[in-house]
A and B are shown apart, each in its own frame.
Chain A
Amino acid sequence: MQATLNAAVAPAYSPEVRQLLFDYVLQLADTSLLLGHRLSEWCGHGPILEQDLALANIALDLLGETRSLYQYAAELEGRRRTEDDLAFLRVATDYRNPLLVEQPNGDFAHTVVRQFLFDNFHYHFLQQLQTSPNEHLAAIAEKSVKEAAYHLKWSAEWIIRLGDGTEESRQRIDKAISKLWRYAGELTTPTPTEKALQDLGLIPNYTALQPTLDAYVAQVFAEATLPVPQQIAVQLGGKQGRHSEHLGYILAELQYMQRTYPGMQW
């Protein structure tokens, strides 16, 4: 509500800044969409009923955030595209999500590690974004940060349970960490778009954020009796449209209806 009101009196950004913001909001929206989509694949297949519900709740939060972001992106673009046009009718190389969130669910350990790496960034980042001078982003952050706090609580606790659980859970989470760690760095490696927006003071600075993220990982991993992985080569590309092979298959499902029946209402 507040966001809509403010949008009407939003500072008149230059076309360049507007474009930067549009690209960036799309990136955030794509990120929530892809992770929400992945989590929704668990529905009906969770390890126990209670956790099936938990996973779906996280997915629903992310999808809610996705919609707010696409709606704002559409508004910034001003070309009368809808949230669904943006979500369903772009080609893979136009999606701006980091590689991490398009990685397959794998076993529960992979899902938990992927979620923890994302939640740690997401929560701490949203905390900062709440104070963005862009009131639209600040309003979205204010709503989402409460959800993200819960997500992080959930994933951190599962990291601890699996790390300090049984031998098997330890092996599985080790494997998941060594597979997914390489994608974590992309979250805090700014693209030129992000760099420009950071310089304008519109979004949080990742360099300043990094110590908080590292400290939290250290805390949770210590409780999980897991060693924090040494620096390994970071995989970048998703935020600039260079994706893993997984994205195409996700889009094949995601876009199936919209592509098969163009222009219809559902």
Chain B
Amino acid sequence: MAEGVKPRVKAPKKASAGEAVTIKTLISHQMESGQRKNKDGSIIPRSIINRFTCEFNGKSVIEVVMEAAISTNPYFEFEAVIPEAGDMVFTWYDDDGSVYTETKSVAIS
């Protein structure tokens, strides 16, 4: 696992049934592009998060295929429809095989 990777998610705790809510996610990650060189001139190998998914009660909200041009500490903002109370699961997939997840519960108000 890459060092110091910490996901942050901003999602409302409550929504009315069928409401579209704004979700923001940020994860600390170097996103080494594979384009940079060391002091000795050798290429620093690519090491990025290559995929991000958000699901609510098992149904897809968004999936993002990520390339090396996504900035350090990847940030996403998008909207999700909340049909009923449940759990929103966020998953980040690292090149090195690590998987980082975060879950947020949303209640119906």
A binds B: no
* Interfacial residues, chain B to chain A (CB-CB below 8 A): none
* Interfacial residues, chain A to chain B (CB-CB below 8 A): none
